[in-house]
Amino acid sequence: MKTNTYNFQPELRLLNAKDYTRVFDKAFKLNNKAFTLLARENNLSHPRLGLVIAKKNLKLACQRNGIKRLLRESFRLQQKELANFDLVILTRRDIALLSKTDIIGYRNDLFARFRKRCLK
């Protein structure tokens, strides 16, 4: 992985069920009104992101895709600060009732709390 780019390459993604299961099995949780973040340290030199955006919580595909874009963009810009963790972000039921501004605020809060807790 190149260290001087902010791309969202495949090596920065959780790509298969095995990767997700590993995080779900022994992860620590952070949550707020919009998201739940599960994180587990990995043996790589970079973080990886996985998203679980439930159709049950956001009915329309355009809503789910918009949330994915917001989360990926934030991860992409902060990847240098996130060390070697596998992160899985799940949406919560109340997310459909929130405005985009609120969602961005909750997203920023979640990443800030993660950095504070894990990267001391």
| Burial (CB count <10 Å: 0-12, 13-18, 19+), residue 107 | buried
pLDDT digits (tens, 9 = 90+) for 2-25: 455 667 778 889 999 999 999 999
pLDDT digits (tens, 9 = 90+) for 29-75: 999 999 999 999 999 888 999 999 999 989 999 999 999 999 999 99
Cα–Cα distance measured from residue 56 to residue 52, given in angstroms and rounded to the nearest whole number = 11
At 119 the pLDDT is 67
Count of CB atoms situated within 10 Å of the CB of 58: 18
Where do the domains of the chain lie?
10-118
Task: Answer whether residue 1 shows pLDDT above 50.
Answer: no
Which one is the CATH code of 10-118: 3.30.230.10, 1.10.3720.10, 3.40.50.2300, 3.90.1640.30? 3.30.230.10
The dihedral built from the CA positions of residue 9, 66, 71 and 104, taken in this order, carries a sign that is positive
pLDDT band at 82 (very low <50, low <70, confident <90, very high): confident
pTM of the model: 0.89
Q: Which three-class secondary structure state does DSSP give residue 15?
A: coil
